[in-house]
Chains A and B, each alone.
Chain A
Amino acid sequence: MRAFDPDRLIELVQVIVRNPMRAFLSSLGVGWGLFMIIITVGSARGLENGVRADMGNDVANSMFMWAQSTSKPYKGFQRGRSLELNLADVAWLEENTQHLDLVVPEIQLGGYRGSNNVTRAAHTGAFDVHGVDENYPQVNPFRITRGRFLNPGDLNAQRKVCVIGSRVETVLFDKGEDPLGEMIQIQGVLFRVVGVYKPKGTGEDAENEAESIYIPFTTFGKAFQTGDRVEWLSVLIRPNVDAAEAEQATKDLLLLRLNAHPDDKRAIGGWSMAEEFQQVESVFGAMRLVSLLFGALALLAGVIGITNIMLISIKERTKELGIRRSLGATPQRIIQQILGETLFLTILAGLCGLILGVGLLELLDGFIEDGGDAGVFRHPEIDLKTVLNVLIILLGMALLAGILPTLRALSIRPVVALRSEG
């Protein structure tokens, strides 16, 4: 392989140095286009990161289901029959499902956002109290800051233990007081605190989440006389399984299990975080695509500018090209030269736009990290894959920009080129 000839680079630089203002103005379009791509894609990512941070406490493939009243008569049962789930149904579902990885039974004291009387000495608070099993954090992850979460032993022995949220700790305990091992009273029943957790996400949902208390499902049934009744199921959909398909299949199984009409749309309620995530994902996917498209259009405008400038340049340099051909420049050499100049100019401008764009995103990120108010915006960034894709687009457009000028340069016969002025 032949070593790189520095004169090739020198020739490219000479072309730019000869007319720096023209080179700058023609490059500006491409630089601006790439800058816009970086900024728009990075901003879309910042928005996505912000939304994802707000959804941080949720698991992308989780789904929630509960039994409701039937809307169709079935096998002798009238419509309006109230359905209920229990632990046996949970076990049956786990055994028969092909779409789910995990089924967690859940029950809540006082209903959704109900106010419960939780006390500790002189401290009182109204918190959500959930009966769950040891697998619950897989569906609703949070950070255990002290102690531990519930374990199978707690479930089996129906221990009166609880894991409290950070907000519960703040309300029920004095500052500096260690809640681990301390007793709190839930609806008059004493529970020992074995762990404290902090929600992973941010925003209102996370604040609400910090106001919950988790106790063993089995203990819940005994302490609050709910037996093995399950209010809703928190489930994890298997990887690579479509969320809508999993939801429908699970509903079908539950309808079968509960002797409800297979076409009863209202008998089983459900809410799929996976579908929410898929929708959010598709919105952000569309945002990324649109920002990339607009950036690419801006880039295309810049590339057209460079093509135009190169065509003018070829016209002005016709004689020079004639001289080069008289000195032995083959058509391939002319192609290399014109394409090289176009690529050099385009890529140089593109890289300037890229560096400026990434620099601005970094500045913005630093501002947000330092506590600047950017709303839902968080960590605007551009990943390496996108940068590589953008560079490939840039390279393709640079080649495109070079085609017309190159064809024009090749179409001029040496003798005609030598006769031209300039």
Chain B
Amino acid sequence: MLSLRSIEKSYPLAGGQLPVLKGIDLIIEQGEMVAIMGSSGSGKSTLLNVLGLLDNFDAGSYHLDDVDMSELSERQAARYRSRFLGFVFQSFNLIAFKSALENVALPLFYQKIPRRERQKRALAMLERMGIADRAHHLPSELSGGQKQRVAMARALITTPRVILADEPTGALDSVTSNEVMDVLREVNSTGITVIIVTHEADIAARCDRTIRLKDGRIIEDGNSSEVVEPTAHGISPIS
């Protein structure tokens, strides 16, 4: 369970501070699939970074399975990221000079898993994603959808408790986006919590719960079918 209480976060600006998160209270239970929506600058990516221990916060508390995350050293935070969290980014964030297999195996390298085991598990994960035949290709030799599958394989290889996806379909066409969401749903069905930052209503609609942010505050939090309204074209966000 992830629990945020009164989280505040500001960025320094010339001559002052820019508040980005203003007292976020949020509880996400294990196994939920949650979309975080909001317009640009609403603080949704910052919230995801705080949840992923990639960024710190100024005030409030964050507990992951009753462990206070605000007290962690950078080393401990890295260990939590390694063991409990998986990241999927809009721009894939694959390491350009490493093959798909090497990229997927990298988190296991940081878990000090033996090389042979790493390779075996990475290949199995690429097979699960349907791109085992691209295992030895560099990211530059893969399509956008293939890159995102590699990124998801990398996020899943450590069997994390939580997947944090920042606009995972933002750079993909609708068909590939649907495929990515299928994978995320499948992942969620195994009990892994999935948190997706998106501004696409149809992506949010495929989640169980949607949280809407505005100016660093949660303005809506509920079942996706209630928060995200259907439109003539399908589903669109409430502005």
Contact = CB atoms under 8 A, between A and B. Distances in A.
B134 interface: no
Interface in A38-69: none
A332 interface: yes
A323 B91 CA distance: 11
A7 B97 CA distance: 14
B64 to A, nearest CB: 15
A330 B81 CA distance: 10
Contact of B81 (A5, A6, A327): A327
Nearest to A413: B55
B98 interface: yes
Given A6-B115, A333-B110, A415 B82 contact: no
A418 B90 CA distance: 11
Interface residues of B, number: 30
A326 B107 CA distance: 9
Interface residues of A, number: 26
A264 interface: no
Contacts of A319: 93
A59 to B, nearest CB: 62
A330 B114 CA distance: 18
B216 to A, nearest CB: 16
A320 B106 CA distance: 12
Nearest to A17: B97
A325 B49 CA distance: 13
Interface in B91-129: 93-98, 106-107, 109-112, 114-115, 118
Interface of B: 49, 52, 54-55, 74-75, 78-79, 81-83, 87, 89, 93-98, 106-107, 109-112, 114-115, 118, 154, 158
Given A6-B115, A322-B93, A331-B78, 11 more contacts: A14-B98, A18-B97, A320-B96, A324-B106, A326-B54, A326-B87, A328-B81, A328-B107, A328-B111, A414-B55, A415-B54
Interface of A: 2-3, 5-7, 14, 17-18, 319-320, 322-333, 413-415, 418
9 contacts: A3-B114, A5-B114, A7-B109, A17-B97, A320-B96, A328-B158, A330-B79, A332-B75, A418-B54
